[in-house]
Amino acid sequence: MIGTIVVIVLIVLVILVILRGVRIIPQQRVAIVERLGKYHATLNPGVNIIIPFVDRIVRVVDLRTQQVVVPPQMVITKDNVQIQIDTVFFYTIVDAKTSTYNIADVVQAIQNITSANIRQVSGHMELDETLAGRDKISMALRTSLDEVTENWGVRIDRVEVVDIKPPTDVQNAMERQMKAERDKRASILQAEGLRQSAILEAEGQKQSAILKAEGQKEARIREAEGLQEAQKLEAQGRAQAIRSIAEAEQNRIEMLRAGKLDAQVLTYQSFEALQEIAKGEATTLFVPTEAVGVLGALGALKTGLQAGGTGQGVSGPRTENIDIEFENKSQNKSQDDSKRGSDK
């Protein structure tokens, strides 16, 4: 009975020892093992065997990227303005042994270094430069942290300035300044829009005036061409009329010549010319000496024309009118000659 109990106890102890010597390390983690108080090994993820009661796991290190929020820091800028800066940094442990034995609290150490460097960097920058230079501050902080954490087995992946808060009065003044700047930009944009609108309107009016002038020019050209064509047609009509009249006159003369009345025709035309001259407003008519023969031959012309009848193209009533006018003018001429003789 006692022997059975002893065996059972031994079996339980063996199982406990075996369980104590088996260690399972999760993914992205490592374990630091000390043997008899001295660093012995680093256990990688998976199943690992250690000696119970001799080996001891002192720390399990997380190799994933860690995020640490730095408490808000009150700093003074170069132009003596107190501001609050909130930062956050990301780090990764690349050497578990070094980070375990070279630094006691890596997070606290990084926070302290970050706070000190924020004050140093901001002290060399004015407020406006600080507000606009977040990237510059982040780069300066990361550079200073890399120099220190290299010996701690830690890599600084990223440092970000989350927020920069100036005092309330300064913030109000900045808001007023920003509002004025926005109003200024709005006014500039509005003026630019009006200018562009005026330019476009002027361009439109210019194009309209050009098109209108082109239209008027085209209309004048077409009007001038139409007038020229009309004058040309009118001139052609007149020329045609003159040619028709000349041809008719030539035909009439040829017809008279065909009737062997050349002398009579000339006499008749001379008489018609004198008759047209007598229609003027002048009261005295000077007749050349050779015209007397024309007047004397009128009787013979009358007889010849009457003998020819209407076949010669001269009507009876027209001949009688010529007789009357001739006799009157002959009598007037005789009276004038008598008066001139008595005066002498």
326 CB neighbour count, 10 Å cutoff: 20
User: Both 99 and 52 in a single domain?
Assistant: no
**pLDDT on residue 333:** 47
Q: Of the given ranges (72-86, 138-152, 280-294), which has the lowest mean pLDDT? A: 280-294
Nearest-angstrom CA–CA distance, 320 and 275:
14
Nearest-angstrom CA–CA distance, 187 and 327:
107
**pLDDT on residue 41:** 92
**pLDDT on residue 88:** 92
Phi-psi region of 61 (alpha: psi -120 to 50; beta: other; left: phi over 0): beta
**pLDDT on residue 321:** 41
User: Both 99 and 132 in a single domain?
Assistant: yes
**pLDDT on residue 16:** 80
| Percentage of the chain modeled with pLDDT above 90 | 12
Single-letter amino acid code for the residue at 44: N
Q: What is the 3-state secondary structure (H, E, C) of 201-260?
A: HHHHHHHHHHHHHHHHHHHHHHHHHHHHHHHHHHHHHHHHHHHHHHHHHHHHHHHHHHCC
User: Both 268 and 314 in a single domain?
Assistant: yes
Domain annotation covers residue 138: yes
Nearest-angstrom CA–CA distance, 119 and 87:
12
**pLDDT on residue 61:** 92
Domain annotation covers residue 192: no
Region 115-144 average pLDDT = 87
Q: Output the CA angle 18-23-27, nearest 5 degrees.
A: 155
Single residue among 134, 166, 198 that ends a domain in this structure: 166
pLDDT surpasses 50 at 309: no
User: Both 94 and 49 in a single domain?
Assistant: no
For residue 100, what is the domain's CATH number? 3.30.479.30
pLDDT surpasses 50 at 318: no
pLDDT surpasses 50 at 310: no
> For residue range 17-65, what is the model confidence (pLDDT) as tens digits?
777 888 889 999 999 999 988 999 999 999 888 888 888 899 999 999 9
**Each residue of 66-104: b (16+ CB within 10 Å) or e?**
beeebeebebebeeebebebbbebebebebbeebbeebe
* Structural domain harbouring 295: 260-343
Q: The tokens of 342 are what?
A: 């008595």
* Structural domain count of the chain: 3
Residue 146 makes CB contacts below 8 A (sequence gap 6+) with: 156
**Which helix or strand (DSSP H or E) is residue 298 part of?**
helix 298-308
Tell me the three state secondary structure of residue 173: helix
**pLDDT on residue 264:** 57
> For residue range 88-116, what is the model confidence (pLDDT) as tens digits?
999 999 999 998 998 888 889 988 988 88
At 313, the pLDDT band (50, 70, 90 cuts) reads: very low
The Cβ-side half-sphere exposure at 336, using a 13 Å CA radius, reads 11
User: Both 37 and 58 in a single domain?
Assistant: yes
Region 265-292 average pLDDT = 60
pLDDT surpasses 90 at 300: no
Domain annotation covers residue 320: yes
User: Both 97 and 24 in a single domain?
Assistant: no
Q: Of the given ranges (154-168, 194-208, 297-311), which has the lowest mean pLDDT? A: 297-311
Q: Of the given ranges (30-34, 195-199, 256-260), which has the lowest mean pLDDT? A: 256-260
